[in-house]
Chains A and B, each alone.
Chain A
Amino acid sequence: MEINPALKKYPLYAIIILVIFGLKPSGVLFRDAWVDGMPFLLLGLISVFAGALVTPVLLPFVPFRSFALKGWLVGLISTSLTIRFFGLFDGMNKIFLIVAVLFFPLASSYIALQFTGSTTFTGMSGVKKELKFGVPLYIAGVILSVIFMVIFKLGQLGVI
């Protein structure tokens, strides 16, 4: 997946994140949405660039032959460095950190896997094998992330 197609989906992702973080018993608060959702918006952008730009540029130098693993590794490093550099979740609920480290490297991995269509050495059987292992992990990662966020939100709303 090139940067443009990935970024076309970014506004939808941003809206979902802003609604999740802005949702309060009194309605959707834009200040809370912006302040609390900012780390996730930034990490979303970073994961796109990690998967669609950094991984392809550094393709021969990133370990592993699997594009999914390459993307995951670059995504994990990019996510970790961004969190550390900006102190993104300092003083915030640890559940955000868990979701970020779980979700964003997987997003980079998925985006990097799309680059198989742009190389001159990947074959259909190899990509199918990657997808056979990768897709269940991507789905599990998304489901777990949603569960964690729901748990956090329910706790924030005082339901649990």
Chain B
Amino acid sequence: MKYLVGVTTLKFFPEKCTGCGMCIEVCPRGVFKLQDKKAIVTDGDLCMECGACANNCEFGAITVNSGVGCAAAIINSMLYGGEPFCGCSGDKGDGCC
């Protein structure tokens, strides 16, 4: 399934891409694929902004404003400040459940 169109903060800089394929390996949504020895974005709207690609790209070819796509977490961050986090395992932002 696909969520809202045209909202993702995913940015890909092809000039920095070396075609290592790490983003393709770690992306759970199949956003990237390899073409002519470089990664390309197949459909940015598939991105759930988990940040795995940007975290694993050694060459800085990908940026994304990652965070939890959870309304309760975002409402809490609006009310009490700070970054949205799940907090369902008492981790207070160290990770998501």
Which residue numbers of A lie inside 8 Å of B, CB to CB?
1, 59-60, 65-67, 113-114, 116-117, 119-131, 135
CB distance from A6 to the nearest CB of B (A): 11
A1: nearest chain-B partner, CB-CB: B72
List chain A residues, Cβ under 8 A from B73: 117
| B86, A125: Cβ atoms closer than 8 Å | no
Using Cβ atoms and an 8 Å threshold, which residues of chain B touch A59?
Answer: 1
Return B53 CB to nearest CB of chain A, in Å: 13
Kindly report which residue of chain B lies nearest to residue A134, judged by CB atoms: B71
The answer to whether B72 touches A124, judged by C-beta atoms less than 8 angstroms apart, is: no
Sorting the interface of chain B by its residue count into under 10, 10 to 19, 20 to 34 or 35 or more gives 20 to 34
Question: Can you pick out 7 interface pairs between chain A and chain B where the beta carbons lie within 8 Å of each other?
Answer: A65-B3, A114-B71, A117-B73, A121-B46, A124-B69, A125-B49, A128-B74
Q: Which A residues lie within 8 Å of B72 (CB)?
A: 1, 114, 117
Q: Find chain A residues with CB under 8 A from B49 CB.
A: 123-125
Q: Which of B33-77 contact A (CB under 8 A)?
A: 46-49, 65-75
In the A-B complex, the 8 residue pairs with the smallest Cβ-Cβ separation, listed nearest first, are: A117-B70, A123-B49, A122-B69, A124-B67, A126-B4, A125-B7, A123-B69, A123-B48
Does B95 interact with chain A (Cβ within 8 Å)? Answer: no
A131's partner among B29, B48, B74, B86 (CB-CB below 8 A) is B74
Does B48 lie within 8 Å of A120, measured CB to CB? yes
**From A60, A125, A127, contact of B70 by CB (8 A):** A127
Known: A114-B71, A121-B48, A131-B71. 18 other contacts (CB 8 A): A1-B72, A59-B1, A67-B71, A117-B68, A117-B70, A123-B7, A123-B8, A123-B48, A123-B69, A124-B65, A125-B49, A126-B3, A126-B8, A126-B69, A127-B71, A129-B7, A131-B75, A131-B78
Contact partners of A66 in chain B: CB under 8 A: 4
Partner of A116 from the list B2, B9, B70 (CB cut-off 8 Å) is: B70
